[in-house]
A and B are shown apart, each in its own frame.
Chain A
Amino acid sequence: MAKIEIEIDGKMVRAKPGEMLISVTDREGISVPRFCYHKKLSVAASCRMCLVDVEGAPKPQPACSTPISEGMKIHTQNEKSKSSQKAVMEFLLINHPLDCPICDQGGECELQDVAVEYGSDVSCFSEGKRIVADNDIGPLIQTDMTRCIHCTRCVRFGAEIAGIMEMGGTGRGDHLKIEPFLTEGVTSELSGNMIDVCPVGALTSKPFRYELRSWQMNSTSTIARHDLVGSNINAQTYKGNVKRVVSGDNDAVNETWISDRDRFSYEGLSHENRLLEPQIKIEGQWKEVGWHVALDYAVKGLTSNILNNHQSDQLGVMASKTSTVEEFYLLQKIAREIGSENIDYRLNIKNLDNTAKLESNIKLGGLEGVDHALIVGSNPRLEQPMINHRLRKASLNGTSVDVINSMKFDFNYQLNSENIIAPNQIASTLAGVLSSVLASVSIELPDYLQSIKVSKESASIAEKLNNSDNSVIVLGEHVVNAENSATIVNLIAQIAKHTNSTTLNLSTTANSLAAELTGFVPGSKGMNVNAMLESDLKAYILLDIYPEYDFHHADKAIDALNDKDNFVISLNGFKNDIVSEYSDVILPIAAFYETSGTHININGDMQSFAASVVAPGESKPAWKVFKVLADLLKLPGFNYVDSTQITEEVSHQAHNNHLHNENIDLSITSDNINIIWQQSPYSIDALLRHSGSLQQTKIGKLNFAYMNASVAKDLGVSADSKYLGVPVVITDAVADRCVFVNANKATQTGGES
Chain B
Amino acid sequence: MNEVCFKNLDKKDSWSLAVYEASGGYSVWRKILRGELTPEQIIDELKASGLRGRGGAGFPTGLKWSFMPRNSAGQKYVVCNSDEGEPGTCKDRDILRYNPHAVIEGMAIGGFVMNATTGYNYIRGEFIEPFNRFEGALKEAYAAGLLGENISDSGVDFNLYAHLGAGAYVCGEETALLESIEGKKGQPRFKPPFPANVGLYGKPTTINNTESFASVADILSKGGKWFADLGVENSGGCKLFSVSGHVKNPANFEVSMGTPFKDLLEMAGGMRDGAKLKAVIPGGSSTPVLTADVAMAMTMDYDGIEKAGSMLGAGSVIVMDESTCMVETLTRLAHFYYDESCGQCTPCREGTGWLYRALKRITDGNGKDGDIELLLNVQDKIMGNTICALGDAAAMPVESFLRNFREEFEYYIEHGKSMVKG
Contact = CB atoms under 8 A, between A and B. Distances in A.
A is bound by B: yes
B144 to A, nearest CB: 41
A687 B86 CA distance: 61
Contact of B361 (A124, A127, A130, A176): A127
A169 B385 contact: no
Interface stretch (B12-20, B339-347, B401-409): B339-347
A90 B380 CA distance: 13
Interface centre among A43, A49, A59, A87 (most CB of B within 10 A): A87
Contact of A47 (B185, B345, B374, B382): B345
Contacts of A58: 384
Nearest to A86: B381
A67 B191 CA distance: 10
B42 interface: no
Interface string B322-349: 0000000000000000111111111101
B350 A174 contact: yes
Interface stretch (A91-99, A268-276, A462-470): A91-99
A752 to B, nearest CB: 51
Given A44-B344, A48-B386, A173 B190 contact: no
A128 interface: yes
B190 to A, nearest CB: 4
Contacts of A71: none
Nearest to B189: A45
B313 to A, nearest CB: 19
A65 interface: yes
A62 interface: yes
Given A43-B190, A59-B385, A95-B350, A169 B357 contact: no
A597 B124 CA distance: 65
B354 interface: yes
Interface in A338-378: none
Given A48-B385, A174-B338, A67 B349 contact: no
A51 interface: yes
A230 interface: no
B168 interface: yes
B74 interface: no
Given A43-B190, A172-B170, A152 B350 contact: no
Contacts of A717: none
Interface string A191-218: 0000000000000000000000000000
A150 B346 contact: yes
Contacts of B370: 124
A240 to B, nearest CB: 43
A46 interface: yes
A119 interface: no
Nearest to B386: A48
B53 interface: no
A47 B350 CA distance: 11
Contact of B387 (A46, A91, A128): A46
B192 interface: yes
Interface in B215-239: none
A174 B380 CA distance: 19
Interface string A103-144: 000000000000000000000110110100000000000000
Given A46-B387, A88-B385, A124 B374 contact: yes
Contacts of B339: 173
Nearest to A80: B384
Which of the four size classes fits the interface of chain B?
Answer: 20 to 34
A310 B354 CA distance: 88
A84 B380 CA distance: 10
Contact of A152 (B338, B344, B357, B384): B344
B351 A91 contact: yes
A92 B350 contact: yes
A60 interface: yes
B377 interface: yes
B350 A51 contact: no
B381 A91 contact: yes
A125 B351 CA distance: 11
A54 to B, nearest CB: 12
A235 B361 CA distance: 50
A174 B341 contact: yes
B345 A171 contact: no
B260 interface: no
B387 A45 contact: yes
Contact of B385 (A60, A92, A95, A171): A60
Contact of B353 (A47, A49, A51, A174): A174
B352 interface: yes
Contacts of A169: 185, 343-344
B357 A173 contact: no
Contacts, number: 100
B358 interface: yes
Contacts of B345: 45-48
Contacts of B353: 95, 130, 173-174
Contacts of B170: 172
Interface residues of A, number: 37
A563 to B, nearest CB: 66
Interface in A7-54: 43-49, 51
A174 B352 contact: yes
B384 A173 contact: no
Nearest to B193: A67
Nearest to B350: A91
B374 A88 contact: no
Contact of B190 (A65, A125, A127): A65
Given A92-B350, A127-B354, A174-B350, A62 B190 contact: yes
A660 interface: no
A553 B50 CA distance: 86
A94 B384 contact: no
Interface centre among B344, B345, B381, B384 (most CB of A within 10 A): B344
A745 to B, nearest CB: 43
A175 interface: yes
A43 B358 CA distance: 33
Nearest to A176: B343
Interface centre among B185, B349, B358, B382 (most CB of A within 10 A): B349
A49 B346 contact: yes
Contacts of B374: 124
A150 B190 CA distance: 16
Contacts of B385: 48, 51, 59-60, 84, 87-88
Contacts of A43: 190
B347 A87 contact: yes
Contact of A172 (B192, B343, B347, B358): B343
Given A45-B190, A46-B387, A87-B381, A92 B354 contact: no
A150 B354 CA distance: 17
B342 A128 contact: no
A130 B357 CA distance: 12
Interface in B365-391: 370, 374, 377, 380-382, 384-387
A176 B341 CA distance: 10
Contact of A173 (B338, B358, B387): B338
Interface string B148-189: 000000000000000000001010000000000000010000
B377 A124 contact: yes
B333 to A, nearest CB: 14
Interface centre among B170, B351, B374 (most CB of A within 10 A): B351
A124 B384 CA distance: 21
Contacts of B361: 127
13 contacts: A43-B190, A45-B190, A46-B387, A88-B385, A90-B381, A91-B351, A91-B354, A91-B381, A94-B350, A124-B374, A128-B357, A173-B340, A174-B353
Interface of B: 168, 170, 185, 190, 192, 338-347, 349-354, 357-358, 361, 370, 374, 377, 380-382, 384-387
Given A91-B351, A94-B350, A150-B343, 11 more contacts: A47-B345, A87-B382, A88-B385, A92-B350, A149-B346, A169-B344, A172-B340, A172-B343, A174-B338, A174-B343, A176-B349
7 A-B pairs with least C-beta separation: A176-B343, A87-B381, A91-B350, A45-B190, A173-B341, A127-B357, A174-B353
